[in-house]
Amino acid sequence: MKLHPDPIPDMHTDIRPLFSHDAMTYQALRLRGLQESPTAFSASFAEERDRTLADITPRVTPAADGSKCVFGAFRTDTLVGMVTILRPQAAKVRHCAQLAGMYVDPGFRRRGIGRALLGAVIDHARAMGDVRQLRLGVNADNTGARQLYEAVGFSCFGIEPDALHVDGRFYGEAHYVLRLDRRT
Ligand SMILES: CC(C)(COP(=O)(O)OP(=O)(O)OC[C@H]1O[C@@H](n2cnc3c(N)ncnc32)[C@H](O)[C@@H]1OP(=O)(O)O)[C@@H](O)C(=O)NCCC(=O)NCCS
């Protein structure tokens, strides 16, 4: 079984790393996500809305060693999806990279874009050569995202109760890992 199926969702979608010149479009899509799906992220719209270009640019500027990269999905030059990979520098944990900020514009969902973004980020992690596993956390109630992560090979290893507090309600966080040294 392939780890992730066809990484190209359709002929009109391009997946590529974002760069500093993408900072404003990245922030626009991020703010849209924080407003539209507040229970999907630990950051909040109120905390992020006033960030300046100087705040955002370092977030989207890829690290030369690949340890930080935001992958974007573009439809006819419009950013419609993204996901971030972050790899720590510390020697004892640098074999574990974290995924964060997975988001696809509502108008473009269920077209394989989320799956393609994960395919790109998994390929990127493999290409670094010494990343053994990818981790992520997802709201335990987010069944759609969980199905997507499980479809590409992530396994849930636990649920942290009450990890997220949004609008007076607590949500559990499901913790996932994908072992890159184990082909599924
Ligand atoms: C979760 C999210 C990224 C999925 O993006 P997407 O582009 O729609 O995902 P895909 O089209 O690649 O879906 C691939 C598979 O994942 C599963 N899946 C995705 N969304 C699903 C949903 N809402 N319900 C059930 N299954 C879903 C399905 O198995 C799907 O395959 P299928 O369409 O052939 O049935 C998107 O819904 C989103 O941005 N949601 C809001 C933010 C969010 O939840 N981010 C995750 C934070 S951890």
Closest CA to 103 of 145, 66, 60, 146: 145
164 in a domain, yes or no? yes
What mean pLDDT value characterizes the chain? Answer: 93
Whether the CB of 131 sits within 6 Å of ligand 1: no
Domain membership of residue 5 (yes or no) is no
Mean pLDDT of 151-177: 98
User: Is 119 touching ligand 1 by the criterion CB < 6 Å?
Assistant: no
Q: How far apart are CA 140 and CA 153, in angstroms?
A: 17
Domain for residue 1, yes or no? no
* Long-range contacts of the stretch 58-65 (C-beta < 8 A, 24+): 59/23, 59/26, 59/84, 60/18, 60/19, 60/20, 60/22, 60/23, 60/26, 61/19, 61/20, 62/17, 62/18, 62/19
Across-strand partners of 166? 169
Instruction: Kindly state the DSSP code that residue 140 receives in the 8-state scheme.
Output: T
Q: Is residue 4 part of a domain?
A: no
Q: How many domains does the chain have?
A: 1
Confidence of residue 4 (pLDDT cuts 50, 70, 90): very low
111 CA: nearest ligand 1 atom: 11
3 in a domain, yes or no? no
pLDDT at 2 exceeding the cut of 90: no
pLDDT in the model for residue 182: 56
Domain that holds residue 108: 13-179
CATH code where residue 58 lies: 3.40.630.30
pLDDT at 108: 97
Q: Which helix (H) or strand (E) holds 47?
A: helix 45-48
* Atom nearest to 100 CA in ligand 1: 48
